Structure 1
Amino acid sequence: MWNPIHWAWMIGCLILIGSTGGVSAAEPAAEAQLPNFVIIFMDDMGYADIGPFGAEGYETPNIDRMAREGRIFTDFYVSQAVCSASRASLMTGCYNVRVGIFGALGPGAQIGLDPQEVTLAEIVKQKGYVTSCIGKWHLGHHPKFLPLNQGFDEYFGLPYSNDMWPYHPTSGKNFPNLPLMEGNRVIDPEVTHEDQNMLTTWYTERAVSFIRKNKDRPFLLYLAHSMVHVPLHVSDKFRGKTQRGLFGDVMMEVDWSVGQILDTIRELGLASRTLVIFTSDNGPWLSYGDHAGSAKPLREGKGTMFDGGCRVSCVMWQPGTVPAGTVCREPVMTIDILPTIAYRINAQLPPHKIDGKNIWPLIVGEPEAKSPHEALYFYWGDALHAVRMGKWKLHFPHEYPTLGGQPGGKDGMPVPYERAHIGLALFDMEKDPGETQDVAAEHPDIVAQIQRLADAMREDLGDSAKKMKPRGARPVGRLEEGDPRFHWKPGQPLDVEASYP
């Protein structure tokens, strides 16, 4: 389903001139050589939750092989360490503050990603790609915000987090039943524990089927796993298989899923022209203890803009294009995926401002390639918490949630966070990735330089901590009169089709 508001932009896209002649790895692809793209996006997976980044108590052999045959990115970031905000940035190439998506949208939300934003799926549609979104969407659950109205041809999955249901450990009475959707329709109005046990399997089967069905045309597959967000669920084939308990079992099943997808790509002879990206929406939800992952050696986790929350493990794979067994240590972000894919296929960028940059030289390991960003900016909500410039990261004074060294919860029950405060603090992320040693006093020139960059960003996207309004932010999408909508309320059966009023 193509959004008509993009027609003017699409007409401009039609006049693009495709490249001709031979194509090197660092150049855009010619029309006859359009690559496929697979983005596997985990939920609440910690930095150290896969083998190449130090997982303990379970094995991830398929992701390990992916890393040996591909490239790991050690300093890969998300724009904000929470579900909807992070996904908005991946889809639009923008800081979430620019597109008005904050926090984690729930079943009562009347907002979503504005259809006037240009998504990654709409970028590749310029070149005739077939597109699929499988798994957790979380950018608005009403039809105008769902994937079919954002450039995707297919959608199957949960419209938001899998804990937004009556069985939530602390807030269950606030949630209606959890729906499983296909397209714009609910196909299961009451997802059960047994259903959740099968989510990873169902998502994987759908992903493999999509790849097989479209092996002869360029495709974009966005597979957004519901795991390892709590409540953790795993199929019988992996239950009890690891020393790490349920969390390890779930990660082993996710690794199996990655293997199924990569094996299918190999079997169909698509490996040399398919870029696969494996990463996460944010770090681990540490208050859930043994049902959460690990951000080691980074500080804190989800819900903070310390690196444990916003720095995620990332592996990229495309044999013959992405150099095997290599490491990129340059700071980049999910906002860079959209403009990089646009560059790769010679597609036109959105007509409005985006924040991401082309990182293709880093992906293919060009000698001396550097991050295209002068700095990366880390907002929490609409307050600017930190800026990373090269190896330096400057935190501005702010509060944050922490366990304060205490253990997290057990068996799916969280423990409460404490509130802590950090003042103006500078960290050398090369020497001190755990953000433990404030070196601001030793480097006043670096502090001043980053503060100048921050002031310029505040003029654009604002900073509530400074009582500055954004000038460059665009409106979030809102339900308007006449828009079909779902009427989901706690304790009531779900309507399976949207309606108005």
Structure 2
Amino acid sequence: MRITSYARRHRRGTFEVFCVFLATAVSGITCTAELAQAKGPQFDAPFLDHQKKNAERWAVEDQQIDQKLAALRDRFGKRPNIIYILADDVGWGELGWQGGGKHRGTPTPELDRMAQEGMRFWSAYAEPSCTPSRIAINTGRHPVRTGLLSVLWPGQTEGLSAEEKTVAEVLSDAGYNTAMWGKWHLGDLPEHAPENQGYDYAYYGMWNGAPDNWPGSFDMYNDAPNSMKAMFYDFPGAEEYKKRTGIDLTEAAFVGRKGEGRKPVEGVAGTLGPDRQEAFEAESIKQITAYVTDKAKDDKPFFIYWATYTQQLQGSKAHHNDKHVDKVNAQASAMAAHNAHVRQLLDTLKAEGIAENTLVVWISDNGPMYVFYPNSGYSWLRGGKGDVLEGGVRVPAMAWWPGMIAPNQDPVDILHLTDLFTTAARLGGALDQIPSDRVTDGIDQTALLLLGEDHGRRNMMFHYSGGVLGAIRYEDFKVHLKAGHGGLPGMDFYNVMRDPGEKFGQLYPGLFAVTPIQMILKSHMLMVRKFPNRVSETVPQGAELTPHD
């Protein structure tokens, strides 16, 4: 595995990095007023300072990028198509190219081939759990800014506010066809649904993305041999549940069209039971490839958001007996099916002659959900889904774009899920469609994609756990924030280049970084005051029950 130091790549010693750290923090505080006056997307104060310091170099890079994109547009007659694949609960190290694959009973040869043909990201990050990551990729904003602080549950009435502008809305305004398939998980009510959030077409599951519930009477071992035996022991069935709670879980999936509303999915893919999600995924890839074939001939480019159900509790009967698949782990056979589906998509793009005009990004939404182990993913890093430890937020990711992204690259530049929002806007010529009355956390990473390693434009990020800021990563350094004691600040420092497993976190080796961290926090919070977070409608959990600033 290649984990190269940011400091080493830029020929800086630890002390010098701390000095730069301090300078960035101090100047970031002064940028708040300036940021509020800027045109276009409104970025957070620390990034604005980073942008200012690199303005001259980035201007040269942007000219190179514009020339590449202009030549592409001349060749195809339209802007590039964009496909984002958001996998579910796949840990850092689960795929073959990260040391997993068949060695862990989860063979992913086609995903590994995609990575070999494109760019493999070693420092890609998501949010700690499902709903927050879906907010991040769709809005380019930290979930805490949108008022949705945590995972939404089946039957919950909250969802993504209509005032948030999604990547589908941004690209629709720029002339794109837009469609989504899979796990929406941003609210079940019609006003929250994807067809009312910018997507022209949507084929999506209900119950806020939860695994199917069914009574324990199902013969799991004979009817679905590689699925997890019912864990929801007391679930009485959808009809009885509706009688008791008033929450209707009988409609498992919908087809929605912008301006036309939605209707339930019929057949196995829309019917409660252990076979539904396998049927749903099979129908999804069938529709996706048909959509690509149809839109390849369209004068307008397309945007596809495919949020797979790949890692849910139900396995894949069709791939249960595949070579090297762990027969105990339902996710292993589901990953084998997904692996084949991704290859179908890439092959379709090639067959239609549009692969070189289509960016495909594959990324996981968070780390593995160990509560269902062994029916779960795995990570070599500490922590899992729900944690701001590396195992919860550092995820596998890759980008594929023949002719535009050079093959077999493995940059260590930092990438965050929110960056995909702003990058799509840049590629789609739609940066001016991003609202300027709120902070956008996503950074345009087109330079990283098209120019390669060391051209990433993110040098730090905030890791929120619900409404609580849990950690900050800055270059190779990461600090976990916690309650102080005895007058000492509550901080554990790690060098995640040297210690990606976060095993050796201490305050004292990072004493010189305490003040810079505090200054970055102040500049960030000043921006929150300038652009307040949307008031949360969700029920607070854990630490969020205690008021905090």
Superposition deviation, residue 30 in structure 1: 4.5
CA contact (8 A) 2:132 2:150 kept: yes
Q: Are 1:71 and 2:153 counterparts? A: no
State the 1:242 CA deviation. Answer: 3.1
What SS does the aligned partner of 2:463 have? strand
Secondary structure at the aligned position of 1:169 is classed as coil
1:41 aligns with 2:86: yes
Match of 1:427 in 2: 494
- Mapping 1:53-452, distance limit 5 Å: 53-55=98-100, 56-78=104-126, 80-159=127-206, 160-163=208-211, 165-167=213-215, 169-170=231-232, 172-173=235-236, 176-177=249-250, 179-183=252-256, 184-188=262-266, 190-217=271-298, 218-229=301-312, 231-239=313-321, 241-245=323-327, 246-296=330-380, 298-347=381-430, 348-351=432-435, 352-353=437-438, 354-366=440-452, 368-373=454-459, 375-397=460-482, 424-452=491-519
1:300 and 1:232 mapped to 2: Cα distance? Answer: 24
**How many equivalent residue pairs?**
429
Distance across 1 between alignment mates of 2:109 and 2:536? 41
Which consecutive unaligned segments of at least 5 residues does structure 2 have? Answer: 1-39, 42-61, 216-229, 242-246, 257-261, 539-549
Q: Is the 8 Å Cα contact of residues 382 and 502 (structure 2) preserved in structure 1?
A: yes
Amino acid paired to 1:290: P
* CA positional deviation for 1:53: 1.5
The alpha carbon displacement at 1:28 in A equals 9.7
- Asked if the contact 2:315–2:332 (Cα under 8 Å) also holds between the matched residues in 1, the reply is no
Flag the 1:102–1:318 CA change in 2: closer, same or farther, 3 A. Answer: same
Q: Contact between 2:285 and 2:341, CA under 8 Å: does it hold in 1?
A: yes
Quick one: structure 1 residues 393 and 471, their matched pair in 2 at CA, closer, same or farther if it must change by over 3 Å?
same
Give me the whole-angstrom Cα distance separating, in 2, the residues matched to 1:339 and 1:452.
26
Query: Which whole-Å CA distance do the structure 1 matches of 2:203 and 2:342 have between them?
Result: 18
Give the secondary structure class of the aligned counterpart of 1:198: helix
2:52 counterpart residue number: none
Taking a change above 3 Å as real, the CA distance of residues 336 and 24 of structure 1, as seen in their structure-2 partners, is same
Determine if contact 1:165/1:177 at 8 Å carries over to the other structure.
no
Instruction: For residue 241 of structure 1, report the CA deviation from its aligned partner.
Output: 4.2
Amino acid of the structure 1 residue aligned with 2:532: G
AA partner of residue 443 (structure 2):
K
Give deviations 1:191-212, integer Å, cap 9, x for gaps.
Answer: 2212223222111111111111
Mapping for residues 487-498 of structure 1, pairs under 5 Å: none
Partner of 1:474: 534
Deviation at 1:29, TM superposition (A): 6.5
Judged with a 3 Å threshold, the aligned counterparts in structure 2 of structure 1 residues 258 and 235 are, in CA distance, closer, same or farther, namely same
Partner deviation per Cα, 1:420-460 (whole Å, 9 max, x = no partner): xx952000011000011124312212232122212332344
Contact 1:395 1:425 in 2 (8 A): yes
Q: Is the 8 A contact 1:47 1:313 kept in 2?
A: yes
**Distance change in 2, residues 1:38/1:471 (3 Å):** closer
Name the CA distance, whole Å, in 2 between partners of 1:367 and 1:195: 41
TM-aligned CA distance change 1:205 to 1:476, over 3 Å? farther
SS at match of 1:290: coil
Preserved CA contact (<8 Å) 1:20 1:30: no
1:68 to partner: Cα distance: 1.1
Q: In percent, how many aligned pairs have the same letter? A: 26
How far apart are residue 290 of structure 1 and its match?
1.2
In the superposition, relative to structure 1, how do residues 21 and 309 fare at CA in structure 2: closer, same or farther (>3 Å)? Answer: closer
Counterpart amino acid of residue 180 in structure 1: A
From the superposition, tell whether residues 261 and 324 of structure 1 become closer, same or farther in structure 2 (CA, over 3 Å): same
- Return the alpha-carbon distance in structure 2 between the equivalents of residues 221 and 123 of structure 1: 13
Partner of 2:29: none
Q: How many Å apart are 1:336 and its aligned residue?
A: 0.6
Distance 1:369 1:273 in 2: 21
If the length of structure 2 is used for normalisation, what is the TM-score? 0.73
Specify which structure has the higher proportion of helix. 2
Q: Describe the SS at the equivalent of 1:371.
A: coil
Aligned-CA RMSD value:
2.8
Shift of 1:161: 1.7
CA contact (8 A) 1:392 1:428 kept: yes
Q: Do the aligned partners of residues 264 and 137 (structure 1) sit closer, same or farther apart at CA in structure 2, a change above 3 Å counting?
A: same
Task: Evaluate the alpha carbon distance shift between residue 88 and residue 299 of structure 1 in structure 2; reply closer, same or farther with a 3 A threshold.
Answer: same
How far did 1:287 drift?
Answer: 2.0
CA contact (8 A) 1:321 1:364 kept: yes
Question: SS at the partner of 1:316?
Answer: strand
| Mapped partners of 1:477, 1:349: distance in 2 | 27
Partner residue of 1:454 out of 509, 521, 531: 521
Structure 2 Cα separation of the partners of residues 457 and 283 of structure 1: 26
Q: Secondary structure at the match of 1:301?
A: coil
In structure 1, C-alpha distance between the alignment counterparts of 2:288 and 2:275, rounded to whole Å: 21
Distance 1:187 1:370 in 2: 42
How much has 1:365 moved relative to structure 2? 3.0
Distance in 2, matches of 1:21 and 1:448, equals: 38
State the TM-score, normalized to the length of structure 1: 0.80
SS at match of 2:397: strand
